[in-house]
Structure 1
């Protein structure tokens, strides 16, 4: 098939619309998760935790954290998996690969060596669940090597393995603590069944739907080399895959707005795509020594329409109930109207957080 030829403007528009960052805001949490495929969970909260800022940047002032909690814990329209909230509609497409997990030999060997431990954990959940990991005894026969993230307790490791196999699930959170139960008591019954190949194909299509246009790559985009249709973008040597449905709306008049993106927002994940389409080189400075930071510890990229125009360095001070704006970094000087739009979004953000604004204005 002859590749679609797109301008950078068109390619950016595809991404912004697919990521629900144009002027047509989605209505609720589930709509966002269905389109994006996942909402990243991370506790770093200079402004708010990742899951909340990702949703607020799409939905706006009407988003409340309780909506996310309800969708996960009561309505079961979302579920937690691998540090993300995902739409339950994706679960049937994930189950075939979950049943084949793990592939790495070291993980299989650890599970085999801890078969009695695995049985103990499942029995404890069946009898007493839902439970926090701390309420489950560690009866491991063999320990995993330290990974720098977790301690010697093997229960979190086993629960993570069982989650990936579809045996257990996270039923809710109490603060940041995950509460576990048997998957059969958390996930819906009667889910549709798919073969491995069909599930993989449908997952790749969903990933492309969330991207609009993507580099085919299992890790960076979840999009296969045959997913969607081929595309090339002016000024880029990258071979892209494009969502054919998204192309049908390409000629619609674009309407832009300002959005502050959490540094862990999925749109920012593929740095190469950011550079090729948005001409934006993004570096997360969280792990840099303070003297080497240009924009700030956890600065949020500022998207204006379909271009990244700056970085917002801001943090919430709950003691004084303010959103402190340390800097608005402009890649190029803002026009007065652009600065007004950015300031208006800062005011909306502060109102959503329930605090006043202080600092750079």
Structure 2
């Protein structure tokens, strides 16, 4: 980290962000390379095309990616691990575990754990004796039910208990059986993980978040990077930025852009304020809107061409008829014929990767 403030053009800032997310012309070679650069890969079951973790990897690696590679990396090679709804690079494990073990839960969650002390002990005893186990294999012996006003959990309290204990490092996920997580006690899951101080771990995670973003607002709840990297300004922006020095140094090696179709839960899209500030793209996921209020579709995928978001793909995989149904390609501005051809080619590549034909809705 230096005291020098780098002055970046908007084009340079966008290129840094795109390259940091591995969305430029130089594709990564495998799952581990993607995970090490991005740090985290979002897991989500919504699969209008395929689940987010699969789309995220395909949009980076392309044809070289096969879904079995992710399973192998997590469950056999242990080069990735699952925590808090993401697959994460194994190199982040010491910092993640340190932050887990030093975590202070919010009052409501802490109170629920305290009220269910016997239940908590029952879950840990069962896992130590019989684990690894699915949540469904662990009895619900709770004393107090969680008030789930948002509707994320059912009446069974075991999943809620496992989630909270995972945030404290007392349990962890070791595999998946389909979409179901397989759990074990933390002392087995995290055995041999090097110790790291709480503050040191925070600095490591800040630096890795900045590595994945390339450039981020200095004080952002979306991409918290604190004082990682170097200070920067961006042409036309009043924000105070932090930039990854390695990304800045590599600007001259830019291999150019390409087309990428991004899952709505892609990390490139997570920091909505940054997306608007740098890319002039206000992305609204319409999944939770009433159907009559949707403009672009239930789960439209943003389309990136080079360093510009040019439209949204409304498409779905019809598993019964085995085809990719393209309802619409919503262009924000009229694309040049060459750009439209590139977008169509990427849609065709996606369909071929899925081993289905493209069907255009009339």
Normalising TM by the smaller chain, what interval?
over 0.9
Q: How many residue pairs end up in the alignment?
A: 359
- How far apart are 1:105 and its partner, in Å? 2.2
Secondary structure of the 1:93 match is: helix
In structure 2, the partner of 1:38 is 40
Please give the per-residue CA displacement for 1:242-283, whole angstroms capped at 9, x wherever unaligned. Answer: 011111111234411100000011111111111111111111
Contact persistence 2:102–2:198 (CA under 8 A) = no
Deviating above 4 A after TM superposition, structure 1's stretches of 4 or more consecutive aligned residues are: none
CA 1:186–1:95: 2 relative to 1, 3 Å: closer
CA 1:73–1:257: 2 relative to 1, 3 Å: same
Contact persistence 1:328–1:360 (CA under 8 A) = no
In structure 2, the partner of 1:9 is 11
Please give the per-residue CA displacement for 1:38-67, whole angstroms capped at 9, x wherever unaligned. Answer: 000001111110000001000101211110
- How far apart are 1:291 and its partner, in Å? 2.2
In structure 1, the partner of 2:93 is 91
- How far apart are 1:79 and its partner, in Å? 1.0
Moved more, 51-60 or 97-106: 97-106
Unaligned ranges ≥5, structure 1: none
Q: TM-score normalised to the size of structure 1? A: 0.96
Q: TM-score normalised to the size of structure 2? A: 0.96
In structure 2, the partner of 1:173 is 176
- How far apart are 1:298 and its partner, in Å? 0.7
Distance 2:171 2:220 in 1: 25
- How far apart are 1:33 and its partner, in Å? 1.0
Contact persistence 2:26–2:255 (CA under 8 A) = no
- How far apart are 1:35 and its partner, in Å? 0.8
Distance 2:116 2:292 in 1: 47
1:242 maps to 2:243: yes
In structure 1, the partner of 2:156 is 153
Alignment of 1:151-230 (within 5 A): 151-187=154-190, 189-217=191-219, 219-224=221-226, 226-230=227-231
Alignment of 1:304-343 (within 5 A): 304-343=305-344
Distance 2:44 2:60 in 1: 17
Contact persistence 2:259–2:303 (CA under 8 A) = yes
Contact persistence 2:217–2:274 (CA under 8 A) = yes
Aligned-residue Cα RMSD (Å) equals 1.4
Unaligned ranges ≥5, structure 2: none
